[in-house]
Structure 1
Amino acid sequence: MTTPDLFPEAKYQLEAVTFEPTRQAGTARLKKFITRTGAHYASQRNYDYGPTNRNSVSALSPWIKHRLITQEEVLTQTLAHHSLSASMKFVQEVFWRSYFKGWMEQHPSVWHSYLNSLETALEALERDKLRKTDYDEAIAGRTGIDCFDHWCDELKETGYLHNHARMWFASIWIFTLRLPWELGADFFLNHLIDGDAAANTLSWRWVGGLHTKGKSYLARPSNIAQFTDGRFDPVGQLSPTAEPLIEDMDHPYVPLSLVQPIPQDEYVLLMTSEDCQPESFTTGAQIGVLGLLSATDPKQSTQVRAFEKGAVQDAISRSSQTLATVATTQDWGAALIEAAQKAGTNQIITPWAAIGPIATQLDATKAELEKAGIHLHQQQRTYDTLTWPHATKGFFKLKKKIPNILNDLGFIDV
């Protein structure tokens, strides 16, 4: 089966995307794709034509992940061009990332369990030479499964994969190669420039049958052949079954933290790669800006590292503050104390960091900051406070609330 006749020209309009870590580049991509967020996206979104032709999807996720552009901006422009009914498929995709973040915030043990299991899986590789060889061949793109090896190389070269390819890749990793899902999730998180702790972890769990218990995702040769437009057809190479994974623990629901009022005193703004557009929601007496990046992780790809650094630097460059710097360090506590003392304040405000590496880094500074008499406040966006409370079960619960959330944001009337 080839491209639907509704858009017969789509696969011939080659459109590569350059992922430049700036707000300007993100808004330019949004402007270019926005007219396609209706019927075009609904009919084309599942097709992966490869890295030289991204016209079937928006490819906005790297900029959205770092909030160089925000979900609100994407939704505003989408609904300015299309009705909600015409653009619903695209609008739902925008909300999927928020669903994953909100669900993880309310089930934090999933993240901690993943980290523990990842450490165990990495240690096991050192004791099992055959498993280590299988793993090394997989991440090197030498499995002999053409589509999988291609996606592995594409990921490492570009820092991006079509969402359908991510699902196929994860399914092959788990059910054909029989490798621990945690190792695959770790590989993705270290190479995807839009890699998000919640979306990545929960997507891998969904494929494996852990997020929606008992329901796994099987990569089928016919599906791959259809939605890669015949580029790949791995007949006889993939597992014909996908027995859902099981785990020996439950992940209890934890209520969302109450957002505390932000002080009106003078403060230093802390910029991280979590949210690189603070000018759209921070107010008050800002007297300094500090951008922080963690010391280099040897597993993190150069593409991921460069995008994170470029995003933070771009955010800093838009600041009018004289005291605006970017630092790369593992000791965030010392850097924050120095910045606050230099600015003459004991208040630091930063955009909310959802569960993941940056939240962990901030948590590690709390005792040191308190000892120095410095207060760190995290500020949430209205979009998150309206969306996350509905992400307690499956996506369908949040999906039903989308019109109401858009109404609360002032985008539509219901």
Structure 2
Amino acid sequence: MTDPTENTPPPATRTHALERLRRFVPIAGRDYAARRNYDLGSQGHPDVSGLSPYLRHRLITEPEVIAAVLGRHSASTAEKFVQEVVWRTYWKGWLEMRPQVWADYRQGLSRVLNDGRHDDRLAAASAGQSGIDCFDAWMGELVTTGYLHNHARMWMASIWIFTLRLPWEAGADLFMRHLLDGDPASNTLSWRWVAGLQTQGKHYIARPDNITRYTEGRFAPKGLVTDAAPLSGPPHPPRRPLPADARPDPGLPTGILLTEEDLSPGFLFDDAQGPILGHAGLMSVAGRSPLPVADPVTAFTRDAMMDARARWSGRMGAPGPLSDDPAVIAAWAVELGLGQIVTPYAPTGPTMKALNMLEAMLSEVGITLIRRIRSYDQAAWPHATAGFFRFKEHIPALLGDILPDSVDKL
């Protein structure tokens, strides 16, 4: 549920996220199930929560959102919304077991950007000059607000791939550069699903009548391809084991490191650890793309980080640097005399890459990087072995872990 007066990205604060959640909860049950597919951008998307930018950075967490909704609705009534929240969890777990898919996407994107064959058509589509009215309007909304309804994302991806015949990697990258909730797992795997690469042989074709219906006549596009073969690609790579949670050493002087992947660090303090001397922030937003990331995305991410640091400053020791350079964080750790840095686990993507670089630097000076995995992720990710419909069989048990006394059977 978004504000129809908003033509710019929303505030990147937990307070704003909680207010959005409060306003959305009353319609999160049957109303949401009936209206969730309607893209009413001109009315401020009144039928969806607009919480994805906050969940993506964990200014608010999945268990918090689900608990709030199930405090008002039964699990069966709120089933569709709960599934939408858990989709992001599923994508993360799926990619975490198959990180080569992210690497392959980035390699494919590099090839597209270097070969130059599509440059003019990519520029036109990216500027909202495709000549397809709905596509161009959504492009304007994306650039202006950093947000798109999920149905519009599917329609755009389908038009990009099958009507405009542009490389899917370039479209996924466009979204990563402009979406406030741009996430390596959700974004990459959703584009692959539309193309027919994720559920291999099954693709998504945007139909004019579907667009007209779910935009309530705002658009009636002409000339869309409605019959196309799915893209082909190699089979999924083998699954790798999921990472194990790491525990801090209670005898070592400790620093806390925040990243944009998880800005609700309270769970880091559940275990005994050494004295917390300070905290720092590592930004990796520029790593979301080899091209410049949109200024609103960078600003939202930085503001979200600052909000989290302000809220938790009393628990995290003296403030240290906020930097996109792992070397700056390593130098801070040495200067502060840390024995370990504790940080929320960052799944596959640019933040993990930055943390891997930092870990190597810290290891050289005898400092340990401890990556803590949330219990929610530990419970959910092992079930992301196949498609979502198999994964969702485990949602009742997952909800039981979140709210053991408040969940009925789905």
Letter in 1 for 2:207: R
Equivalent residue number for residue 175 of structure 1: 162
Answering whether residue 368 of structure 2 is matched by residue 403 of structure 1, we say no
Equivalence for 2:338: 345
d(CA) in 2 for partners of 1:266 and 1:293? 23
1:17-36 correspondence runs (5 A): 19-36=10-27
- Alignment of structure 1 residues 296-311 onto 2, 5 Å: 299-311=292-304
Partner of 1:37: 28
- Cα pair 1:109 1:252 within 8 Å, conserved: no
2:245 is aligned, of 259, 262, 283, to 259
1:216 Cα deviation after fit: 0.3
Asked whether the 8 Å contact 2:285–2:301 carries over to 1, the reply is no
Identity of aligned residues (%): 44
Give the structure 1 partner of residue 277 of structure 2.
287
Q: How many residues align?
A: 397
Aligned 8 A contact 1:23 1:69 in 2: yes
Q: TM-score, normalised by structure 1?
A: 0.92
Q: Which of 200-209 and 17-26 deviates more?
A: 17-26
- Check conservation: 1:217, 1:242, Cα contact below 8 A: no
SS at structure 1 position matched to 2:370: strand
Residues 56-104 of structure 1, C-alpha deviations (whole Å, 9 max, x = no match): 1001000010000000100111110000001000000010000000000
CA distance in 1, matches of 2:402, 2:338: 34
Q: Residues 47-196 of structure 1: matches in 2 within 5 Å? A: 47-125=38-116, 128=117, 131-196=118-183
Of 402-411 and 20-29, deviating more is: 402-411
Cα deviation per residue 1:262-321 (whole Å; 9 max; x = unaligned)?
322331000111111102443443221101224857520011000110011111111114
- Give the letter aligned to residue 188 of structure 1: F
The SS at the match of 2:88 is helix
Query: Which residue in the other structure is 2:375 paired with?
Result: 382
Is the Cα contact below 8 Å between 1:268 and 1:339 reproduced in 2?
A: no
Aligned counterparts of 1:242 and 1:259: Cα–Cα separation in 2? 44
5+ residue gaps, structure 1, are 1-9
Q: For residues 210-260 of structure 1, give each alpha carbon's deviation from its aligned partner in whole angstroms, at most 9, with x where no partner exists.
A: 00000000000000000001000003x200213111113541111112223
Which whole-Å CA distance do the structure 1 matches of 2:10 and 2:285 have between them?
Answer: 23
Letter in 1 for 2:57: H
| Structure 2 unaligned residues grouped into runs of 5+ | none
The whole-number CA distance in structure 2 between the counterparts of 1:202 and 1:242 is: 20
Q: Quick one: which amino acid aligns to residue 248 of structure 2? A: I
Deviations 1:328-375 (A, max 9, x none): 33x31x222222233322200110101011001111222221111111
Q: Distance in 2 between matches of 1:365 and 1:401?
A: 35
TM-score by length of 2: 0.93
Q: Which residue of 1 aligns with 2:323?
A: 328
Q: Give the aligned residue type for 1:290.
A: A
